[in-house]
Structure formats: structure tokens, C-alpha cells
Structure 1
Amino acid sequence: MQRNTYGQSPPLHHPVPQHVSTVPQLRSPPPPPGSAQSQQQGYAPTGQQGNPYQQQGGTSGNVFGAYGQFMNDPTAQVAAQFGQTAFKQGQEYVEQNIGRYVNVAALKHYFNVSNSYVINKLFLVLFPWRHKGWSRKQAVGANGQEGWYLSPRDDINSPDMYIPVMGLVTYVLLSTLIAGLKGAFNPELLGVTATTGLSVVIVEIIALKLGCYLLSISSQSQLFDLIAYSGYKFVGIIVTITVAEILNGGKGTGGWIGWAVFAYTFSANALFLLRSLKYVLLPETNGQPSGPMQTDSRAKRNQRTQFLFFYSYIVQLFFMWVLTRA
């Protein structure tokens, strides 16, 4: 090999191929976990690569970090406070407008329930003959005198709105579910069933108010009490439909099994109403907060007793039969 003037060997020239084939680029294996290179390139150990967005570009695509920065943004905090204020003002507006027609404070009393109350109340509606005391409890004032009735949470004999409302909703959903299992589901069935249930309750309340007016029965909380008691029938109706469908093999409430369950739930509901509505439809002058409602004569009391019996048995028999066949 010859050397140039400066004592250096000349550069080597390699032949360049005329036809160059495309060679795939090989990726190097990821660096060991925990190394500085792996943290810079966005690699994570096995089992910690759940979020693919955290591995694209190293530090880009961090959704949770962006969310945390968004929540720490002063503008987002101001927007959240504005939303809370708007919701509070909207709630106050609704309460003020509804308060013109409905006593919201009195209505909240009927939704003051607990889990233990709901369970015990359902047991009471289905097995009323096991219950002994039917008198409602009253709060005692500072001077030792009895005052207002206790809420359902504190008195098992107090009527509530939670069970009737949930009973109506469950009745509608159960009826549509059974229709769907039989292949006869129709979206309009929800509206039809709900309208039927509400119509029965409204007609029943109108009949009760008319009877109370003709018999000169008045009470401060009479309307809400009557609405609550009229909705307890849905408990027996739901039990009737469910048991009859299961034992009859999906054939409905017909047959002797369906009629036997219906007779039981109807009798239980009638006895429950007969005992519970006594303080509303048969008031006495015993200092209760329902007002100075007197039983003028024995004839007037007999009329009220007959009305209570007619409502508890005859009216409930008709409406429960309609709802179970709807």
C-alpha cells in the first residue's frame, strides 16, 4: 500500500450495488425498565402499559393529567361555581312556583322514610292481621301537650308517598316486562299502563273527596293521606302479577292460582285500609290535631263506617281487578 506525501493512506472506495433492495428497519428492543432512557422514550414495565396514550411521544396524550390541569384552572372553578348557583336558583324557583298549588313542606314529610320503615311497611301491608296498634304517634310539645304527627321514619302507622310512587313505577315496568317476555312489547304500552294507573288513583281520590264532603269530614292533611293510602294497592297488585306469572308458567293472572293470590292480596289491602283510615274517616273529639271534627250523632257515625267499609272492600276490589287485568 502506497502512502501519500503526508504519510496517510488513501481512502478506500467500496463498490456501490446497482440494484438496491429495500431492507426493513429493525427496531431495537426497549431499554430495561426504570432506566433513564426508558423514561425519556415513554416505555413502561410489563403490566403498567394500560394507557396507550401515555406512550405516544413520551409526555403527550396524558388524559388524566389534562383533566387535573383543567380542574385546577381558575376558569373551570368559576364555571363550576356558576353551575351550582344556577342549579340552586332553579330549585328555589321551582319550589316557589309549585308552592302556590302544593304545600312542599308538608309533602316532604311524606317522603321522610328509611330503609327499615319501607321494609316494615311492606310487611304491614301484606300481613296486616299481625299488627296490633294502629294509632298514629304524635310529637309531645314543651308544655306536655300532643302536637303534630310524627314522620313515617319514626312511626310505622304514618302514611308515606315513597311506597305508592315506587309501587306505581314498578307496576308500569313489570307490566311492560311481562309483555316483552311474551313478545307483545310496544313502546306505547309504557304510556298506556302509566295512564291507567294514574287514572285509577285520580278517580279514587275524587270519589274519596266527594264522600268526605258529603259526610262533613275535613282534615288538614286529609288530601295527602288519601293519596298515600290509595297507592298502597300497587303492593298487592305487584305481588299478584309476579306470583301468578311464575306459578302459572307465564299464563298471566288467570286460573285458580292467580285468583287465590288476588283474593289474598285484596283481603290484606282491604284490612289495612280499614284499620288505617279510621282516624281520617271516623274522627272523634279527642284533641287530635285534625281539627274539631265531631261525630254529631250515631247515624252520622254509621254512615261514615259504611263509607269506610265500601271504600276498603268494594272500591278496592274493582280497581285492583282492573289493574291486574290491564
Structure 2
Amino acid sequence: MGFQVGQTALRHGTEYVEQNINRYVNLSALKHYFNVSNQYVVNKLFLVLFPWRHKPWSRKQSIGPNGQEGWFLPPRDDLNSPDMYIPVMALVTYILLSTLLAGLRGAFQPELLGYTATSAFFIVAVEILGLKLGCYLLSISNDSQLLDLVAYSGYKFVGVIVTLVLSELFSGGKGTGGWIGWAVFTYTFLANALFLLRSLKYVLLPENSSDERGTMQTVARSQKSRRTQFLFLYSYPVQLVFMWGLTRS
């Protein structure tokens, strides 16, 4: 009887948790961002670090039975699709790497792991809030906008990790203080900025927008100009501040 009561409680508890999670997070949509392959991960890392000659940047869409465009293809089938796997793994790697480097310099403390994680999550949260605010003020709407923005905000950690590793190897532990460290930081920052500038055009610079009745309307030239300025501001000055803050430790 006790075993049956336990099973019933576990089942109800699981259902309650799933219902509350689905209330705030669309798990089926989230799975789309983790649908990756080994080849995709390698090619995406190469794209993030070397975006200079990549073409095209547009995302691929599935074709319906009547020839109409459907949903965006998952990352496994489209290199230009944002994913959550690389940003999550890069974020975790950054936290562990920062504490490891501190230990190699003899400056490790147990509180450092929590401090580094809190700082990284805070930067990502501020970045997402700023992007959502900008999208709201510029009347940019997209069904998958939030998850796309979360994914793109995490790609900077790839460049940050490369900067920390190479700076440690070639600058004698000076971080970005040595000229080699600053050279690597400049390159990874510019690569990440160009990657975001090209990738986020379909989110922040849509050709058409819909009103409250769902009617498609062409974006005005002045509105498009403001969106272009916002995209440039996010890709360059904002990323410069965030990446500098993540690498200065």
C-alpha cells in the first residue's frame, strides 16, 4: 500500500512539474534548439570564429505540400540556425575555465565559482532584457524571438574562451593585459560582432511586420533605419563591453 501511495504521489508530482514548466517554457520548441549533430557543432564553431567569407546567412525553411514555406529547419539541417547546445556548453566551459585559470595563478577561492557563474548569468540576463526592450520599442515581433536571442547571446562565450586560453598560453598569465591577449581579444570581438550582425538580420530587420489584425505591412524606411542602428549598436559597442567584462578576469 505504501509503495502504491508513493507511485501515485510521484506521478502527480511529475505531472505538476511538467504542467508548470510548460506554462513558462515551450519544451517542444526548446528541443528544436538542441537538435544538433557533431558536424554541425564543428562547422558552427568554425563559423563563429571565422565568419568573414561565409555566405549565405539566410535561414532555410521547410517546404509544405503546396510549395509554401513552413518552419525553420533545425540546427542539424541548417548551419545558419541558432542552437542552444553551443551557448550552454560554452557558458559552462567559461565558468570552469575561469576558476581553473585562477587556480593556476594561485588565486582560487571556493566562492570564485559562484561569483563567476553569477556574473556570467547576470550579463546574459541584462543583454536579453536590453534586446527585448529594443524589440518592443522598435515594434519587432517574432514567434521564436526570445529563444533565438537567448541562443545568439551565448555565442560570445566561444570567443571569450579562445581569448582566455590563448592569453594564458602566450601572455604568461597576463590575461588581456599583454599585446597578444589584446590582439586575440580584438579578433574574437570583431568575429563575434560580424557573426551577430549577419545572423540577427532576420530577427531585427524583417522586411515585413504584422499589425494587431495580422495584416502584413512593409516596414517604413525610417523604422528600418532605426532598427539597423540598433543592430549595429548591439553587435559592436554592447558586445565590446560585455566581452571585455568577461575576459578581464
- How many pairs are equivalent? 243
Contact 2:204 2:227 in 1 (8 A): yes
What residue number does 1:161 align with?
A: 84
What residue number does 2:151 align with?
A: 228
Q: Where do residues 192-231 of structure 1 align in structure 2 (5 Å cutoff)? A: 192-231=115-154
Question: Unaligned 5+ residue runs, structure 1?
Answer: 1-78
For the residue of structure 2 that corresponds to 1:132, the secondary structure is: coil
CA distance in 2, matches of 1:293, 1:230: 28
Residue 94 of structure 1 deviates from its aligned partner by 3.0
What residue number does 1:126 align with?
A: 49
What residue number does 1:321 align with?
A: 244
Task: With a CA cutoff of 8 Å and minimum separation of 6, indicate the structure with the bigger relative contact order.
Answer: 2
AA of the residue aligned to 1:167: A
Q: Where do residues 60-209 of structure 1 align in structure 2 (5 Å cutoff)? A: 92-209=15-132
AA of the residue aligned to 2:238: V
For the residue of structure 2 that corresponds to 1:220, the secondary structure is: coil
Question: Unaligned 5+ residue runs, structure 2?
Answer: none
CA distance in 2, matches of 1:112, 1:87: 29
CA distance in 1, matches of 2:117, 2:83: 20
CA distance in 1, matches of 2:7, 2:85: 27
Contact 1:283 1:293 in 2 (8 A): no
Residue 235 of structure 2 is aligned with which of 302, 312, 322? Answer: 312
Provide TM-score, normalisation by structure 1.
Answer: 0.70
CA distance in 2, matches of 1:286, 1:135: 18
Q: Where do residues 18-29 of structure 1 align in structure 2 (5 Å cutoff)? A: none
RMSD of the TM alignment (CA)? 2.2
Residue 121 to residue 86, structure 1, CA distance change in 2 (3 Å): farther
* Between 225-234 and 249-258, the greater mean CA deviation after superposition: 249-258
Matched, 1:283 2:213: no
Residue 253 to residue 131, structure 1, CA distance change in 2 (3 Å): same
Larger Rg: 1
What residue number does 1:261 align with?
A: 184
Residue 140 of structure 1 deviates from its aligned partner by 0.7
Residue 131 of structure 1 deviates from its aligned partner by 0.9
AA of the residue aligned to 1:244: S
Contact 2:91 2:157 in 1 (8 A): yes
What residue number does 2:165 align with?
A: 242
Contact 1:247 1:257 in 2 (8 A): yes
Q: Where do residues 54-65 of structure 1 align in structure 2 (5 Å cutoff)? A: none
Contact 2:138 2:227 in 1 (8 A): yes
Residue 119 to residue 216, structure 1, CA distance change in 2 (3 Å): same
For the residue of structure 1 that corresponds to 2:23, the secondary structure is: coil
Provide TM-score, normalisation by structure 2.
Answer: 0.91
CA distance in 2, matches of 1:179, 1:219: 41
Residue 253 of structure 1 deviates from its aligned partner by 2.1
Contact 1:284 1:293 in 2 (8 A): no
Contact 1:285 1:293 in 2 (8 A): yes
Residue 216 of structure 1 deviates from its aligned partner by 0.4
